[in-house]
Amino acid sequence: MKVIIRDNGKEASLWVAHRIADAINAKAKVSDKPFVIGFCTGSTPLDTYAELIRMVKAGEVSFKNVISFNMDEYVGIPVDHPESYHSFMYHNLFDHIDEPKENIHILDGNAPDLAAECESYERKIVEAGGFDLFFGGIGEDGHIAFNEPFSSLQSRTRVVTLTEDTLRVNSRFFGNDMNKVPKQAMSVGVATVLSAKEVVILALGPKKARAIKESIEGPMSHMVTVSALQNHPDGIIVLDDDAAGELKVNSYRYFKAVEAAEAR
């Protein structure tokens, strides 16, 4: 696992945007095959998406040959609800980039058969060629996508029940009323994320510091599902200084030293 630490959230977010753009451009140079990416929602990716939009407008990257799959969606929320992840993605990314609409995949939380929708999502990911890169955030409880504590590290796309913790944290988007947050969601599994060739996790702010410490320095555990990244050959965790705040001093220095050595 690689850990990149930047002084602030903006710099960490730009680092991720450039990593994504570089990966898309690198594949386009050697292959006509589409670049397949996993996208996340939440507060964390906002500056990364803003930078990707800027880069598309500046002609520095194109999403014309990119296929995307979002990691999760609430169950039973109208697609045009302002807090649906459909709305979030169109508003914050898809409306402003050149990714063809037919290449955009987001789980349908209103599908008549949710289990069938999850199975078909996994199938479509395979048919697209599998993920080149998965971009994710991390929950305060260490979840990756909506893989709450005690989710199997072998899990695949399925319906999940959100924990009290997540309902509380996400209530900020629903008028601070936990009862308005959908209790269930559909989410790619931990194994779905880990199937990507490269996984890039961005964590910003002091509220993520404990989960980051546990996922990087703790044992791999279903209690902190991001910790499964320890078992991935090409996992990168990108942090601002606040999210790195609970790492041991020696870990912090180690990651900084590795990065400095690789830059030489």
Per DSSP, 207 falls in state G
Total residues interacting with ligand PGA, rule: CB under 6 A: 7
DSSP H or E stretch at residue 49: helix 46-57
> Active-site residue 259, yes or no?
no
Catalytic residue among 51, 143, 198, 214: 143
Question: Quick check: is 132 catalytic?
Answer: no
Known catalytic residue at 143:
yes
Tell which one of 9, 34, 109, 139 touches ligand PGA (CB under 6 A).
139
Residues 43-102 that bind ligand PGA (CB under 6 A): 43-44
Phi and psi, residue 238, nearest 5°: -110, 130
Q: Confirm or reject binding of residue 182 to ligand PGA (CB under 6 A).
A: no
65: its two tokens: 């040959």
Question: Which two tokens mark 213?
Answer: 């410490």
Q: Which is nearer to ligand PGA, 38 or 139 (CB)?
A: 139
For the record, the structure tokens of 211 come out as 């989960």
Smallest gap, in angstroms, from Cβ of residue 29 to ligand PGA?
Answer: 32
Distances in Å between the alpha carbon of 136 and those of 27, 33, 46, 78, 116? 20, 23, 12, 24, 24
**Residue 4 CA: distances (Å) to CA of 42, 142, 183, 194, 238:** 21, 18, 34, 19, 5
Tell which one of 9, 38, 137, 142 touches ligand PGA (CB under 6 A): 137
- What is the x/- site pattern for ligand PGA, positions 25-54, by CB under 6 A? -----------------xxx----------
Sort strands 158-161 and 184-187 into parallel, antiparallel or unpaired: antiparallel
18 is catalytic: no
Structural tokens at position 175: 């008028």
Residue with CB nearest ligand PGA? 42
Q: Minimum CB separation from ligand PGA for residue 249, in Å?
A: 25
CB of 113 to ligand PGA, least distance (A): 26
Binding residues for ligand PGA, rule: CB under 6 A, are: 42-44, 137-139, 143
